[in-house]
Chain A
Amino acid sequence: MTRSPWPAAVLLLLGVATAQQGPPPSPAQQEYQSLVREAEAARSAWAAARKEFTQGAEYQAALAARDAEKLNALLQKAPKLDLTPYADRALELAQRHAGKDEAVLPLAWVVCHGGNKERATRALATLHRQHLASKQLLELFEPPYLLPRAADPEVVRAFLIDVSSKHPDALVRAHALDVRVTMLQRRGASAEEMELAARLAAEAEILAQGSQLYDKIVAPRFERERLQIGMVAPDIEGEDLDGVKFKLSEYRGKVVVLDFWGDW
């Protein structure tokens, strides 16, 4: 056995110190977290009920018969998801902390996950007026397709322009630019829009250096330049599902099938 230079009690204390990173969540954070958990549970329950409904005999029969009218009628009876109670609680929580940083996450949740466009647009306008310098605005930008779909596009655009030009944090500016790029690169975009998107993406790439957003922005180029047939595969370093670190390059000398998968 190797002898540790540290007494066991010191190691134990170190363990406790590293396990609790940062201060414990404030009451407002706890309230927000439990709200999100409850809303997620409601969403999962709805998704399961809807799946059961669409796999039911009546629905499957209509689907097999390609009976559009019948399918529409059945969908009227399908389980609905109403997130209003959760959005109301989030807005109430934000109201109690109006103007303070504790209001940002509840408002961002209403925008991206609250399930109602008008409500989302109002919450976004509040964020724009009162929280334009908050670092927690990042919550709105990942994944980047949520925000453009969630609220009125003009309000989103005005918000993104202000964040990307005025926010004190470079990474927040980069994310705001990234969302603008996703908005511009829609199907049927004009040549001017595509040109603007390319310019904004270049700016985002510079601002995002060293972050995962940078990897995302340069990914198409990485694929073109590093992931083509005949090229040595870039190494992957990570943890397996048991938390054990390993590298793809450890399998040199074997034929490898690399399978990006998910259980869905």
Chain B
Amino acid sequence: MYPHERSLVQRLKNQPFALIGVNSDPDKAQLGKRLAEERITWRSFWNGPKGTAGPISTRWNVRAWPTIYVLDHKGVIRFKDVRGEQMDAAVDRLLAEMSAGAAEPDK
């Protein structure tokens, strides 16, 4: 998972794109070490000391990890649980949609 996410973030670093995590590790100190080891640079919400039973994943009814939502630039949910190449394609498509929308004159 990490290498793919790293390369996505790297490839789109100059684009209007963000990878936002919701991290469900209960032990933040241990996680700090892993962030450095795995070169995880993207920002994450912390789901709190209850780990997978924490408030954010509970509210979003997350029962499997990882769970992925892809949102467009208006904040609309456009894809769910796309992985690997599908994730890249989904993001590229939304970025293309966004620049096409920006090029169109306002009606």
Contacts and interface: CB of A to CB of B under 8 A. Distances in A.
Interface in B52-107: 52-53, 55-62, 65-80, 87, 91, 94-95, 98
Contacts of B79: 229
Interface string B8-50: 1000000111111111110010011011001000011110001
Interface residues of B, number: 57
Contacts of A222: 59-61
A228 B71 CA distance: 11
A240 B35 CA distance: 13
Interface residues of A, number: 39
A256 B68 CA distance: 10
Nearest to B79: A229
A168 interface: no
A8 B2 CA distance: 46
A257 B19 contact: yes
A260 B53 contact: no
Given A261-B24, A263-B31, A227 B17 contact: no
A249 interface: yes
B65 A262 contact: yes
A73 interface: no
B34 to A, nearest CB: 5
B44 A261 contact: yes
A228 B75 contact: no
A251 B18 contact: yes
B70 to A, nearest CB: 5
Contact of B44 (A241, A254, A256): A241
Given A238-B45, A239-B46, A251-B20, A260 B62 contact: yes
A232 B75 contact: yes
Given A212-B55, A229-B80, A236 B61 contact: no
A162 interface: no
A219 B21 contact: no
Contact of B56 (A229, A236, A252, A256): A236
Contacts of A142: 50, 53
A37 B68 CA distance: 34
Residue from A238, A246, A255, A256 having most chain B Cβ neighbours under 10 A: A255
Contacts of A258: 20-22, 68-71
Contacts of A255: 15-18, 70-73, 91, 94-95, 98
Contacts of B1: 261
B73 A252 contact: yes
A233 B46 contact: no
B60 A219 contact: yes
Task: Count chain A CB atoms within 10 A of each CB in B62, B71, B91 and give the residue with the most.
Answer: B71
B46 A241 contact: yes
Nearest to A244: B43
A257 B91 contact: yes
Contact of B77 (A143, A229, A261, A263): A229
A229 B78 contact: yes
Contact of A263 (B16, B20, B34, B95): B34
